[in-house]
Amino acid sequence: MENLRHIIIFDGKCNLCNSSVNFIIKRDRKALFLFTPLQSEVSQGLMCKYKIEGLGSDSIVLIKNEKVYQRAEAVFEICKDLNGYYFLLRIFRIFPTSLTDFLYNLIADNRYKIFGEKAECTIPSEEVNSRFLIDPL
């Protein structure tokens, strides 16, 4: 049986990452995803628990059903659970991981230049705020 909630670890200092989180929240009507910034104690505990090593701030991580997905693979897996036709983006899995991760890394390496480093602070609603894991588990 699938777990009901999936955890996304993201760079909390990145505009692109924060925009991506907002994008996911708007399209996740079942509230399957929980979020924690890479800079939090929660994410550090999760990385230890799941033996995630060498994770830079340029990586998005999805923990789903006790399995860890990183970079492009995480993006494709997240799209699978979003409302709308975003699941169709999974077709890019036909390409080798080396190619999709290369493209992911190209964007990730330039995200601060393109989108800026510090995300604007928005005050989320109580419902949205409950989807962020900030305190230690």
Domain ranges of the chain: 6-129
Residue 67: which of 59, 58, 77 has the closest Cα?
77
Rounded alpha-carbon distances, angstroms, from residue 66 to 3, 93, 120: 9, 21, 32
Q: What is the pLDDT of residue 2?
A: 47
Q: What is the pLDDT of residue 53?
A: 84
Q: Please tell me the pTM assigned to this model.
A: 0.82
Tell me the two tokens of residue 85: 């036709």
Confidence category of residue 3, pLDDT binned at 50, 70, 90: very low
Q: What is the pLDDT of residue 31?
A: 93
Confidence category of residue 58, pLDDT binned at 50, 70, 90: confident
Rounded alpha-carbon distances, angstroms, from residue 44 to 38, 51, 95, 104: 7, 10, 31, 23
- Mean pLDDT, to the nearest integer, of 8-30? 90
